[in-house]
Chains A and B, each alone.
Chain A
Protein backbone atom coordinates (compact mmCIF):
# COMPACT_ATOMS: atom_id res chain seq x y z
CA UNK A 1 0.00 0.00 0.00
CA UNK A 2 1.20 3.49 -0.78
CA UNK A 3 2.33 5.70 2.10
CA UNK A 4 1.18 8.79 0.17
CA UNK A 5 -1.30 9.09 -2.67
CA UNK A 6 -1.82 12.38 -4.49
CA UNK A 7 -5.21 12.30 -6.20
CA UNK A 8 -5.73 14.99 -8.84
CA UNK A 9 -4.22 17.57 -6.52
CA UNK A 10 -4.63 21.17 -7.60
CA UNK A 11 -2.90 23.99 -5.72
CA UNK A 12 -3.40 27.70 -5.52
CA UNK A 13 -1.33 30.43 -3.93
CA UNK A 14 -3.14 33.66 -3.11
CA UNK A 15 -6.07 32.63 -5.30
CA UNK A 16 -3.87 31.96 -8.34
CA UNK A 17 -3.54 28.37 -9.53
CA UNK A 18 0.09 27.21 -9.41
CA UNK A 19 -0.27 23.48 -10.08
CA UNK A 20 -2.98 21.15 -11.28
CA UNK A 21 -3.68 17.49 -12.02
CA UNK A 22 -0.90 16.15 -9.82
CA UNK A 23 -1.51 12.42 -9.29
CA UNK A 24 1.11 10.00 -8.08
CA UNK A 25 1.76 7.37 -5.44
CA UNK A 26 4.69 7.16 -3.11
CA UNK A 27 5.44 3.71 -1.69
CA UNK A 28 7.20 3.23 1.62
CA UNK A 29 11.00 3.34 1.33
CA UNK A 30 11.12 5.27 -1.95
CA UNK A 31 13.21 8.39 -2.45
CA UNK A 32 11.31 10.92 -4.54
CA UNK A 33 12.78 14.03 -6.05
CA UNK A 34 10.30 16.76 -6.88
CA UNK A 35 12.09 18.95 -9.37
CA UNK A 36 11.17 21.93 -11.48
CA UNK A 37 12.06 25.55 -11.97
CA UNK A 38 11.17 28.43 -9.67
CA UNK A 39 7.43 28.99 -9.73
CA UNK A 40 6.72 25.46 -10.94
CA UNK A 41 4.59 24.79 -7.87
CA UNK A 42 6.96 22.34 -6.18
CA UNK A 43 7.25 24.30 -2.93
CA UNK A 44 3.48 24.81 -2.81
CA UNK A 45 3.00 21.06 -3.33
CA UNK A 46 5.31 20.42 -0.40
CA UNK A 47 3.39 22.87 1.78
CA UNK A 48 0.15 21.07 0.99
CA UNK A 49 1.78 17.76 1.89
CA UNK A 50 2.86 19.21 5.25
CA UNK A 51 -0.66 20.45 5.87
CA UNK A 52 0.42 24.10 5.88
CA UNK A 53 -2.02 25.00 3.11
CA UNK A 54 -5.14 23.21 1.86
CA UNK A 55 -5.38 21.63 -1.59
CA UNK A 56 -7.50 23.73 -3.95
CA UNK A 57 -8.80 20.51 -5.48
CA UNK A 58 -8.18 16.78 -5.17
CA UNK A 59 -6.65 15.29 -2.04
CA UNK A 60 -3.56 13.79 -0.48
CA UNK A 61 -4.23 10.42 1.18
CA UNK A 62 -1.86 9.03 3.77
CA UNK A 63 -1.47 5.29 4.22
CA UNK A 64 0.52 2.83 6.31
CA UNK A 65 -0.46 4.59 9.51
CA UNK A 66 1.25 7.87 8.59
CA UNK A 67 -0.35 10.79 10.39
CA UNK A 68 -0.36 14.36 9.03
CA UNK A 69 1.81 15.73 11.85
CA UNK A 70 4.28 12.86 11.69
CA UNK A 71 6.18 14.01 8.63
CA UNK A 72 9.74 15.12 9.34
CA UNK A 73 10.36 18.44 7.64
CA UNK A 74 13.70 20.03 6.82
CA UNK A 75 13.07 23.64 5.81
CA UNK A 76 15.14 25.77 3.49
CA UNK A 77 18.21 27.24 5.14
CA UNK A 78 16.98 30.77 4.53
CA UNK A 79 13.86 30.08 6.61
CA UNK A 80 15.92 29.51 9.76
CA UNK A 81 17.08 32.27 12.09
CA UNK A 82 20.84 31.97 12.09
CA UNK A 83 21.31 34.03 15.24
CA UNK A 84 18.78 32.23 17.41
CA UNK A 85 20.03 31.46 20.92
CA UNK A 86 19.45 27.73 21.33
CA UNK A 87 21.58 24.69 22.07
CA UNK A 88 21.80 21.84 19.57
CA UNK A 89 19.91 19.66 22.02
CA UNK A 90 17.09 22.19 22.38
CA UNK A 91 16.62 22.38 18.61
CA UNK A 92 16.68 18.61 18.10
CA UNK A 93 14.31 17.99 21.01
CA UNK A 94 11.78 20.41 19.53
CA UNK A 95 11.24 17.82 16.78
CA UNK A 96 9.49 15.51 19.23
CA UNK A 97 6.69 17.99 19.92
CA UNK A 98 4.16 16.41 17.54
CA UNK A 99 3.55 13.16 19.37
CA UNK A 100 4.33 14.21 22.89
CA UNK A 101 0.82 15.18 23.91
CA UNK A 102 0.35 17.85 26.54
CA UNK A 103 3.30 17.17 28.79
CA UNK A 104 4.90 20.53 29.55
CA UNK A 105 8.51 19.28 29.48
CA UNK A 106 10.51 16.71 27.54
CA UNK A 107 10.47 13.27 29.15
CA UNK A 108 12.93 10.40 29.10
CA UNK A 109 11.45 8.98 25.88
CA UNK A 110 11.86 12.25 23.97
CA UNK A 111 15.43 12.66 25.21
CA UNK A 112 16.24 9.10 24.13
CA UNK A 113 14.84 9.74 20.65
CA UNK A 114 16.78 13.01 20.35
CA UNK A 115 20.00 11.40 21.59
CA UNK A 116 19.56 8.53 19.13
CA UNK A 117 19.18 10.86 16.18
CA UNK A 118 22.05 13.09 17.29
CA UNK A 119 24.23 9.99 17.52
CA UNK A 120 23.15 8.85 14.06
CA UNK A 121 24.27 12.17 12.57
CA UNK A 122 27.40 12.52 14.68
CA UNK A 123 26.05 15.44 16.67
CA UNK A 124 26.48 14.12 20.19
CA UNK A 125 29.79 15.97 20.74
CA UNK A 126 27.99 19.21 19.82
CA UNK A 127 24.93 18.51 21.99
CA UNK A 128 25.46 21.41 24.39
CA UNK A 129 26.92 23.76 21.78
CA UNK A 130 25.12 26.86 20.61
CA UNK A 131 23.22 26.44 17.33
CA UNK A 132 24.13 29.93 16.13
CA UNK A 133 27.86 29.27 16.39
CA UNK A 134 27.80 26.20 14.13
CA UNK A 135 28.77 26.15 10.47
CA UNK A 136 26.06 26.00 7.79
CA UNK A 137 26.61 22.29 7.25
CA UNK A 138 26.43 21.52 10.96
CA UNK A 139 23.26 23.59 11.33
CA UNK A 140 21.73 21.60 8.49
CA UNK A 141 22.63 18.35 10.23
CA UNK A 142 21.00 19.60 13.45
CA UNK A 143 17.81 20.43 11.53
CA UNK A 144 17.91 17.02 9.89
CA UNK A 145 18.14 15.41 13.33
CA UNK A 146 15.15 17.50 14.41
CA UNK A 147 13.20 16.32 11.35
CA UNK A 148 14.09 12.70 12.17
CA UNK A 149 12.73 13.21 15.70
CA UNK A 150 9.40 14.22 14.21
CA UNK A 151 8.96 11.11 12.09
CA UNK A 152 9.62 7.40 11.79
CA UNK A 153 8.30 7.06 8.27
CA UNK A 154 8.49 10.06 6.00
CA UNK A 155 11.01 12.86 5.57
CA UNK A 156 10.41 15.99 3.47
CA UNK A 157 13.45 18.03 2.42
CA UNK A 158 13.07 21.52 0.95
CA UNK A 159 16.07 22.56 -1.18
CA UNK A 160 18.32 20.97 1.44
CA UNK A 161 21.71 21.90 0.02
CA UNK A 162 21.20 25.53 -0.99
CA UNK A 163 24.07 27.55 0.44
CA UNK A 164 26.22 24.55 1.35
CA UNK A 165 29.65 24.01 -0.19
CA UNK A 166 30.23 20.94 -2.44
CA UNK A 167 31.99 18.86 0.21
CA UNK A 168 29.27 19.44 2.78
CA UNK A 169 26.60 18.85 0.11
CA UNK A 170 28.07 15.47 -0.79
CA UNK A 171 28.26 14.50 2.88
CA UNK A 172 24.65 15.60 3.37
CA UNK A 173 23.37 13.47 0.48
CA UNK A 174 25.37 10.51 1.79
CA UNK A 175 23.58 10.81 5.14
CA UNK A 176 20.14 11.14 3.55
CA UNK A 177 20.77 8.08 1.35
CA UNK A 178 21.82 6.15 4.44
CA UNK A 179 18.60 7.17 6.22
CA UNK A 180 16.59 6.18 3.14
CA UNK A 181 18.29 2.76 3.00
CA UNK A 182 17.13 2.11 6.54
CA UNK A 183 13.53 2.29 5.36
CA UNK A 184 12.65 5.98 5.57
CA UNK A 185 10.54 7.38 2.74
CA UNK A 186 12.16 10.61 1.54
CA UNK A 187 10.63 13.36 -0.57
CA UNK A 188 13.04 16.05 -1.66
CA UNK A 189 12.10 19.31 -3.35
CA UNK A 190 15.00 20.62 -5.38
CA UNK A 191 15.91 22.66 -8.41
CA UNK A 192 19.18 20.74 -8.67
CA UNK A 193 18.20 18.18 -11.33
CA UNK A 194 21.62 16.56 -11.47
CA UNK A 195 21.79 15.85 -7.76
CA UNK A 196 18.20 14.61 -7.73
CA UNK A 197 18.92 12.17 -10.52
CA UNK A 198 21.98 10.94 -8.63
CA UNK A 199 20.27 10.07 -5.37
CA UNK A 200 16.52 9.69 -5.93
CA UNK A 201 14.75 6.49 -6.89
CA UNK A 202 11.81 8.34 -8.40
CA UNK A 203 11.31 11.73 -10.04
CA UNK A 204 8.34 14.06 -10.31
CA UNK A 205 9.16 16.83 -12.74
CA UNK A 206 6.71 19.65 -12.16
CA UNK A 207 5.94 22.65 -14.29
CA UNK A 208 2.51 23.67 -13.02
CA UNK A 209 1.46 20.16 -14.04
CA UNK A 210 3.55 16.99 -13.98
CA UNK A 211 5.88 16.73 -16.99
CA UNK A 212 7.23 13.41 -15.79
CA UNK A 213 6.35 10.91 -13.07
CA UNK A 214 8.29 7.68 -12.71
CA UNK A 215 11.58 6.07 -11.78
CA UNK A 216 14.86 7.88 -12.19
CA UNK A 217 16.07 5.39 -14.81
CA UNK A 218 13.00 6.11 -16.91
CA UNK A 219 13.46 9.83 -16.39
CA UNK A 220 17.00 9.77 -17.73
CA UNK A 221 15.70 8.22 -20.98
CA UNK A 222 12.57 10.34 -21.27
CA UNK A 223 12.48 13.35 -23.62
CA UNK A 224 11.91 15.74 -20.65
CA UNK A 225 14.71 14.23 -18.63
CA UNK A 226 17.18 14.20 -21.51
CA UNK A 227 16.36 17.82 -22.33
CA UNK A 228 16.81 19.04 -18.77
CA UNK A 229 19.90 17.04 -18.00
CA UNK A 230 21.51 18.24 -21.21
CA UNK A 231 20.63 21.87 -20.51
CA UNK A 232 22.09 21.51 -17.06
CA UNK A 233 25.28 19.98 -18.36
CA UNK A 234 25.84 22.91 -20.73
Chain B
Protein backbone atom coordinates (compact mmCIF):
# COMPACT_ATOMS: atom_id res chain seq x y z
CA UNK B 1 0.00 0.00 0.00
CA UNK B 2 2.78 2.43 0.90
CA UNK B 3 4.29 1.63 -2.48
CA UNK B 4 1.17 2.84 -4.19
CA UNK B 5 1.11 6.05 -2.23
CA UNK B 6 4.76 6.62 -2.97
CA UNK B 7 4.08 6.14 -6.66
CA UNK B 8 1.55 8.92 -6.55
CA UNK B 9 3.81 11.10 -4.40
CA UNK B 10 6.87 10.70 -6.55
CA UNK B 11 5.33 11.19 -9.94
CA UNK B 12 2.02 12.89 -9.45
CA UNK B 13 2.09 14.59 -12.85
CA UNK B 14 2.57 11.34 -14.73
CA UNK B 15 0.01 9.42 -12.66
CA UNK B 16 -2.58 12.16 -13.19
CA UNK B 17 -1.77 12.13 -16.87
CA UNK B 18 -2.34 8.37 -17.04
CA UNK B 19 -5.60 8.63 -15.10
CA UNK B 20 -6.88 11.43 -17.33
CA UNK B 21 -5.97 9.62 -20.56
CA UNK B 22 -7.29 6.29 -19.32
CA UNK B 23 -10.61 7.62 -18.03
CA UNK B 24 -11.32 9.65 -21.13
CA UNK B 25 -10.44 6.82 -23.48
CA UNK B 26 -12.58 4.45 -21.39
CA UNK B 27 -15.49 6.87 -21.57
CA UNK B 28 -15.27 7.35 -25.35
CA UNK B 29 -14.76 3.64 -25.99
CA UNK B 30 -17.76 2.69 -23.87
CA UNK B 31 -20.12 5.08 -25.70
CA UNK B 32 -18.90 4.07 -29.15
CA UNK B 33 -18.99 0.43 -28.07
CA UNK B 34 -22.75 0.43 -27.56
CA UNK B 35 -23.46 1.39 -31.17
CA UNK B 36 -20.63 -0.74 -32.58
CA UNK B 37 -21.78 -3.87 -30.74
CA UNK B 38 -25.44 -3.33 -31.69
CA UNK B 39 -24.58 -2.68 -35.33
CA UNK B 40 -22.56 -5.92 -35.30
CA UNK B 41 -19.35 -3.98 -35.85
CA UNK B 42 -17.58 -5.26 -32.71
CA UNK B 43 -14.66 -6.58 -34.66
CA UNK B 44 -13.95 -3.22 -36.28
CA UNK B 45 -12.27 -2.01 -33.09
CA UNK B 46 -10.17 -5.16 -33.08
CA UNK B 47 -9.21 -4.81 -36.74
CA UNK B 48 -8.35 -1.15 -36.31
CA UNK B 49 -6.08 -1.79 -33.34
CA UNK B 50 -4.07 -4.30 -35.35
CA UNK B 51 -3.75 -1.76 -38.13
CA UNK B 52 -2.57 0.62 -35.41
CA UNK B 53 0.12 -1.88 -34.47
CA UNK B 54 1.35 -1.87 -38.05
CA UNK B 55 1.31 1.92 -38.04
CA UNK B 56 3.37 2.07 -34.84
CA UNK B 57 5.89 -0.20 -36.52
CA UNK B 58 6.19 2.25 -39.38
CA UNK B 59 6.72 5.05 -36.87
CA UNK B 60 9.42 3.00 -35.17
CA UNK B 61 11.24 2.34 -38.46
CA UNK B 62 11.12 6.01 -39.26
CA UNK B 63 12.46 6.60 -35.73
CA UNK B 64 9.77 9.10 -34.78
CA UNK B 65 8.56 7.15 -31.79
CA UNK B 66 7.57 10.29 -29.94
CA UNK B 67 5.27 11.51 -32.69
CA UNK B 68 3.93 8.07 -33.55
CA UNK B 69 0.35 9.34 -33.45
CA UNK B 70 1.01 11.58 -36.44
CA UNK B 71 1.60 8.38 -38.43
CA UNK B 72 -0.84 5.97 -36.83
CA UNK B 73 -3.85 8.29 -36.71
CA UNK B 74 -4.21 8.86 -40.47
CA UNK B 75 -3.47 5.20 -41.25
CA UNK B 76 -6.04 3.87 -38.78
CA UNK B 77 -8.59 6.47 -39.90
CA UNK B 78 -8.13 5.37 -43.52
CA UNK B 79 -8.54 1.71 -42.50
CA UNK B 80 -11.75 2.58 -40.60
CA UNK B 81 -13.27 4.29 -43.61
CA UNK B 82 -12.28 1.43 -45.91
CA UNK B 83 -13.90 -1.10 -43.55
CA UNK B 84 -17.10 0.95 -43.34
CA UNK B 85 -17.33 1.34 -47.11
CA UNK B 86 -16.72 -2.40 -47.61
CA UNK B 87 -19.44 -3.10 -45.07
CA UNK B 88 -21.95 -0.76 -46.67
CA UNK B 89 -21.32 -1.80 -50.25
CA UNK B 90 -21.04 -5.48 -49.37
CA UNK B 91 -18.23 -5.87 -51.89
CA UNK B 92 -16.54 -8.18 -49.44
CA UNK B 93 -17.95 -9.74 -46.33
CA UNK B 94 -17.28 -7.36 -43.46
CA UNK B 95 -15.76 -9.93 -41.11
CA UNK B 96 -13.46 -11.27 -43.83
CA UNK B 97 -12.33 -7.73 -44.67
CA UNK B 98 -11.44 -7.11 -41.03
CA UNK B 99 -9.48 -10.35 -40.78
CA UNK B 100 -7.54 -9.52 -43.94
CA UNK B 101 -6.68 -6.02 -42.74
CA UNK B 102 -5.73 -6.99 -39.20
CA UNK B 103 -3.59 -10.03 -39.95
CA UNK B 104 -1.95 -8.19 -42.84
CA UNK B 105 -1.13 -5.25 -40.61
CA UNK B 106 0.29 -7.49 -37.86
CA UNK B 107 2.51 -9.31 -40.38
CA UNK B 108 3.85 -6.14 -41.94
CA UNK B 109 4.25 -4.49 -38.54
CA UNK B 110 6.26 -7.39 -37.15
CA UNK B 111 8.52 -7.45 -40.20
CA UNK B 112 9.08 -3.71 -39.96
CA UNK B 113 10.01 -3.95 -36.27
CA UNK B 114 12.53 -6.64 -37.18
CA UNK B 115 14.04 -4.38 -39.82
CA UNK B 116 14.36 -1.36 -37.52
CA UNK B 117 17.36 -1.44 -35.15
CA UNK B 118 15.39 -0.37 -32.08
CA UNK B 119 14.79 -2.60 -29.09
CA UNK B 120 12.74 -5.05 -31.09
CA UNK B 121 11.12 -7.12 -28.39
CA UNK B 122 10.46 -4.23 -26.01
CA UNK B 123 8.80 -2.14 -28.71
CA UNK B 124 6.67 -5.01 -29.99
CA UNK B 125 5.67 -5.86 -26.46
CA UNK B 126 4.70 -2.28 -25.69
CA UNK B 127 2.57 -1.82 -28.74
CA UNK B 128 0.86 -5.20 -28.39
CA UNK B 129 0.24 -5.36 -24.67
CA UNK B 130 0.26 -1.71 -23.72
CA UNK B 131 2.85 0.50 -22.21
CA UNK B 132 4.88 -1.19 -19.51
CA UNK B 133 5.32 2.05 -17.69
CA UNK B 134 3.02 5.01 -17.51
CA UNK B 135 6.14 7.17 -17.87
CA UNK B 136 5.84 6.60 -21.60
CA UNK B 137 2.62 8.60 -21.80
CA UNK B 138 3.46 12.05 -23.08
CA UNK B 139 1.80 15.28 -22.16
CA UNK B 140 0.71 15.62 -25.78
CA UNK B 141 -1.13 12.29 -25.44
CA UNK B 142 -3.15 13.78 -22.63
CA UNK B 143 -4.14 16.84 -24.63
CA UNK B 144 -5.09 14.75 -27.62
CA UNK B 145 -7.18 12.48 -25.38
CA UNK B 146 -8.95 15.52 -23.91
CA UNK B 147 -9.62 16.93 -27.37
CA UNK B 148 -10.94 13.65 -28.73
CA UNK B 149 -13.24 12.99 -25.82
CA UNK B 150 -14.71 16.46 -26.10
CA UNK B 151 -15.48 15.68 -29.75
CA UNK B 152 -16.92 12.22 -28.97
CA UNK B 153 -19.07 13.46 -26.09
CA UNK B 154 -20.35 16.43 -28.09
CA UNK B 155 -21.19 14.17 -31.02
CA UNK B 156 -23.10 11.76 -28.79
CA UNK B 157 -25.05 14.54 -27.09
CA UNK B 158 -25.87 16.44 -30.29
CA UNK B 159 -26.71 13.41 -32.40
CA UNK B 160 -28.00 11.07 -29.68
CA UNK B 161 -31.45 10.56 -31.21
CA UNK B 162 -30.03 10.10 -34.69
CA UNK B 163 -27.41 7.66 -33.46
CA UNK B 164 -30.23 5.66 -31.85
CA UNK B 165 -32.22 5.69 -35.06
CA UNK B 166 -29.30 4.65 -37.27
CA UNK B 167 -28.29 1.91 -34.83
CA UNK B 168 -31.78 0.50 -34.34
CA UNK B 169 -33.03 0.53 -37.93
CA UNK B 170 -30.82 1.95 -40.65
CA UNK B 171 -33.43 1.63 -43.41
CA UNK B 172 -36.11 3.46 -41.46
CA UNK B 173 -33.59 6.16 -40.52
CA UNK B 174 -32.72 6.60 -44.18
CA UNK B 175 -36.38 6.76 -45.18
CA UNK B 176 -36.97 9.54 -42.63
CA UNK B 177 -34.16 11.57 -44.13
CA UNK B 178 -31.23 10.77 -41.83
CA UNK B 179 -27.92 10.70 -43.69
CA UNK B 180 -26.98 7.21 -42.59
CA UNK B 181 -23.66 7.16 -44.44
CA UNK B 182 -22.46 10.31 -42.67
CA UNK B 183 -23.18 8.78 -39.25
CA UNK B 184 -21.48 5.51 -40.10
CA UNK B 185 -18.39 7.40 -41.19
CA UNK B 186 -18.52 9.58 -38.09
CA UNK B 187 -18.65 6.47 -35.90
CA UNK B 188 -15.77 4.91 -37.84
CA UNK B 189 -13.67 8.06 -37.52
CA UNK B 190 -14.30 8.47 -33.80
CA UNK B 191 -13.58 4.79 -33.20
CA UNK B 192 -10.30 5.08 -35.09
CA UNK B 193 -9.18 8.04 -32.98
CA UNK B 194 -10.20 6.35 -29.73
CA UNK B 195 -8.38 3.17 -30.70
CA UNK B 196 -5.17 5.02 -31.56
CA UNK B 197 -5.09 6.90 -28.27
CA UNK B 198 -6.17 3.97 -26.15
CA UNK B 199 -3.75 1.60 -27.82
CA UNK B 200 -0.72 3.24 -26.27
CA UNK B 201 -1.95 2.57 -22.78
CA UNK B 202 -3.98 -0.64 -23.15
CA UNK B 203 -2.14 -2.25 -26.06
CA UNK B 204 -3.17 -3.15 -29.59
CA UNK B 205 -4.38 -6.62 -28.65
CA UNK B 206 -6.66 -5.51 -25.83
CA UNK B 207 -8.00 -2.08 -26.82
CA UNK B 208 -11.08 -3.59 -28.50
CA UNK B 209 -11.98 -5.05 -25.11
CA UNK B 210 -12.34 -1.51 -23.84
CA UNK B 211 -14.90 -0.92 -26.61
CA UNK B 212 -16.85 -4.16 -26.36
CA UNK B 213 -16.88 -5.17 -22.67
CA UNK B 214 -18.70 -2.16 -21.15
CA UNK B 215 -21.47 -2.33 -23.79
CA UNK B 216 -21.93 -6.08 -23.34
CA UNK B 217 -21.93 -5.83 -19.56
CA UNK B 218 -24.43 -2.98 -19.63
CA UNK B 219 -26.75 -4.90 -21.96
CA UNK B 220 -26.82 -7.79 -19.51
CA UNK B 221 -28.32 -5.67 -16.74
CA UNK B 222 -30.44 -3.08 -18.51
CA UNK B 223 -32.75 -3.19 -21.52
CA UNK B 224 -33.25 0.43 -22.57
CA UNK B 225 -30.97 2.32 -24.93
CA UNK B 226 -30.37 5.36 -22.76
CA UNK B 227 -29.71 3.30 -19.65
CA UNK B 228 -27.40 0.99 -21.61
CA UNK B 229 -25.40 4.05 -22.71
CA UNK B 230 -25.15 5.46 -19.19
CA UNK B 231 -24.44 2.10 -17.55
CA UNK B 232 -21.78 1.35 -20.13
CA UNK B 233 -20.02 4.66 -19.45
CA UNK B 234 -20.18 4.23 -15.66
CA UNK B 235 -18.98 0.61 -15.75
CA UNK B 236 -16.12 1.58 -18.04
CA UNK B 237 -14.93 4.33 -15.70
CA UNK B 238 -15.25 2.13 -12.62
CA UNK B 239 -13.41 -0.76 -14.27
CA UNK B 240 -10.65 1.57 -15.40
CA UNK B 241 -10.23 2.94 -11.87
CA UNK B 242 -10.09 -0.56 -10.36
CA UNK B 243 -7.83 -1.90 -13.09
CA UNK B 244 -5.41 0.99 -12.91
CA UNK B 245 -5.21 0.72 -9.14
CA UNK B 246 -4.71 -3.03 -9.43
CA UNK B 247 -1.86 -2.55 -11.88
CA UNK B 248 -0.13 -0.19 -9.46
CA UNK B 249 -0.60 -2.56 -6.53
CA UNK B 250 0.70 -5.66 -8.28
CA UNK B 251 3.15 -3.76 -10.44
CA UNK B 252 1.71 -5.02 -13.71
CA UNK B 253 1.03 -3.26 -16.98
CA UNK B 254 -2.21 -1.27 -16.83
CA UNK B 255 -3.69 -2.77 -20.03
CA UNK B 256 -4.11 -6.39 -18.94
CA UNK B 257 -5.15 -5.34 -15.43
CA UNK B 258 -7.93 -3.09 -16.74
CA UNK B 259 -9.23 -5.69 -19.19
CA UNK B 260 -9.13 -8.38 -16.48
CA UNK B 261 -11.35 -6.19 -14.30
CA UNK B 262 -13.69 -5.78 -17.30
CA UNK B 263 -13.91 -9.57 -17.63
CA UNK B 264 -14.83 -9.87 -13.95
CA UNK B 265 -17.39 -7.09 -14.35
CA UNK B 266 -18.91 -8.83 -17.38
CA UNK B 267 -19.26 -12.08 -15.45
CA UNK B 268 -20.96 -10.29 -12.56
CA UNK B 269 -23.33 -8.47 -14.92
CA UNK B 270 -24.13 -11.73 -16.73
CA UNK B 271 -25.01 -13.33 -13.41
CA UNK B 272 -27.25 -10.40 -12.47
CA UNK B 273 -28.90 -10.53 -15.91
CA UNK B 274 -29.48 -14.26 -15.62
CA UNK B 275 -31.03 -13.91 -12.17
CA UNK B 276 -33.29 -11.11 -13.44
CA UNK B 277 -34.51 -13.18 -16.41
CA UNK B 278 -35.19 -16.16 -14.15
CA UNK B 279 -37.14 -14.02 -11.74
CA UNK B 280 -39.21 -12.55 -14.57
CA UNK B 281 -39.84 -15.96 -16.13
CA UNK B 282 -41.09 -17.23 -12.78
CA UNK B 283 -43.33 -14.19 -12.37
CA UNK B 284 -44.85 -14.52 -15.86
CA UNK B 285 -45.45 -18.22 -15.22
CA UNK B 286 -47.40 -17.40 -12.11
CA UNK B 287 -49.41 -14.81 -14.05
CA UNK B 288 -50.35 -17.25 -16.80
CA UNK B 289 -51.62 -19.91 -14.41
CA UNK B 290 -54.44 -17.89 -12.93
CA UNK B 291 -57.21 -19.71 -11.04
CA UNK B 292 -59.92 -19.19 -13.66
CA UNK B 293 -57.65 -20.58 -16.37
CA UNK B 294 -57.10 -23.65 -14.26
CA UNK B 295 -60.85 -23.96 -13.78
CA UNK B 296 -61.39 -23.77 -17.53
CA UNK B 297 -58.73 -26.39 -18.12
CA UNK B 298 -60.59 -28.73 -15.84
Contact of A104 with B158 in the complex, beta carbons under 8 Å:
yes
A window 73-104: CB within 8 A of B: 73, 75, 79-81, 84-87, 90-91, 93-95, 97-98, 100, 104
> If the complex has contacts A52-B174, A73-B175, A75-B169, are A106 and B161 also in contact, measured as CB distance less than 8 A?
yes
Residues of B within 8 A of A52 (CB): 171, 174-175
Give Cα A100–Cα B164 distance, bound, in whole angstroms.
Answer: 15
CA distance A106 to B164 in the complex (A): 12
A71 cross-chain contacts in B, Cβ below 8 A: 175
- A133 contacts across to B, CB distance below 8 A: 223, 280
* B residues 196-233 in Cβ contact with A at 8 Å: 219, 222-226, 228
B160 at the interface (CB under 8 A from A): yes
A167 vs B228: C-alpha distance when bound (angstroms) = 34
In the assembled complex, A130 has its CB within 8 A of some CB on chain B: yes
Residues of chain A within 8 A (CB-CB) of B143 are none
CB atoms of A86 and B224 under 8 A apart: yes
Main secondary structure of the interface of B (DSSP, over half): helix
CA of A90 to CA of B164, assembled, Å: 9
B291 at the A interface (CB under 8 A): no
**Closest CB-CB distance, B274 to chain A, in whole Å?**
15
Does the CB pair B159–A85 fall under 8 Å?
no
Once bound together, how far apart are the Cα atoms of A73 and B228, in whole Å?
26
B43 lies within 8 A of chain A by Cβ: no
In the complex, how many angstroms separate the beta carbon of B280 from the nearest chain A beta carbon? 8
* Chain B residues with a Cβ closer than 8 Å to the other chain, count: 27
Query: Given that A94-B164, A146-B172 are known contacts, is A87 also in contact with B177, CB under 8 Å in the complex?
Result: no
- Which residues of A are found within 8 Å of B164, using beta-carbon distances? 86, 90, 94
Interface 0/1 of A9-48, CB less than 8 Å to B = 0000000000000000000000000000000000000000
Q: Known contacts A52-B171, A71-B175; decide if A85 and B228 are in contact (CB<8 Å).
A: yes
Residue pairs across A and B with CB atoms within 8 Å: the count is 87
> A97-B173, A104-B161 known; A130 and B168 CB under 8 Å?
no
Q: A51-B175, A95-B176, A104-B159 are in contact. Are A84 and B224 (CB under 8 A)?
A: no
B153 at the interface (CB under 8 A from A): no
Whether B175 and A84, one on each chain, are in contact in the complex, defined by CB atoms closer than 8 angstroms, is no
Whose C-beta in chain A lies nearest to the C-beta of B227? A85
Q: How close is B94's CB to chain A, nearest CB, in angstroms?
A: 16
In the assembly, what is the distance between CA of A86 and CA of B222, in Å?
A: 9
For B284, the closest partner residue in chain A by CB is A133
Taking chain A's interface residues, is the majority helix, strand, or loop, or is none over half, making it mixed? mixed
B223 and A132: CB pair below 8 A?
A: yes
A97 contacts B162, CB within 8 Å? yes
CB-based nearest B residue for A98: B176
Set A73, A91, A150: member contacting B168, Cβ < 8 A: A91
A130 CA / B222 CA spacing, docked (Å): 9
Chain B residues near A106: list those with CB within 8 A. Answer: 161
A79-B169, A79-B171, A106-B161 given as contacts; is B177 within 8 A of A69 (CB)? yes
| Pair B169/A130 contact, Cβ less than 8 Å | no
Q: Is A50 an interface residue (CB 8 A)?
A: yes
Contact A69 B223 (CB under 8 A): no
* Interface positions of B (Cβ within 8 A of A): 38, 157-162, 164-165, 168-169, 171-178, 219, 222-226, 228, 280
* 14 A–B contacts from the bound complex (CB under 8 Å): A73-B171, A75-B172, A79-B169, A84-B38, A84-B168, A86-B164, A87-B223, A87-B225, A90-B164, A91-B168, A93-B161, A98-B177, A100-B161, A104-B159
13 other A-B residue contacts (CB within 8 Å) besides A75-B169, A84-B38, A95-B172: A75-B171, A79-B171, A81-B169, A90-B224, A91-B168, A94-B161, A95-B176, A97-B161, A97-B162, A97-B178, A98-B177, A104-B160, A106-B161
Q: Which residues of A contact B (CB under 8 A)?
A: 50-52, 68-69, 71, 73, 75, 79-81, 84-87, 90-91, 93-95, 97-98, 100, 104-106, 130, 132-133, 146, 150
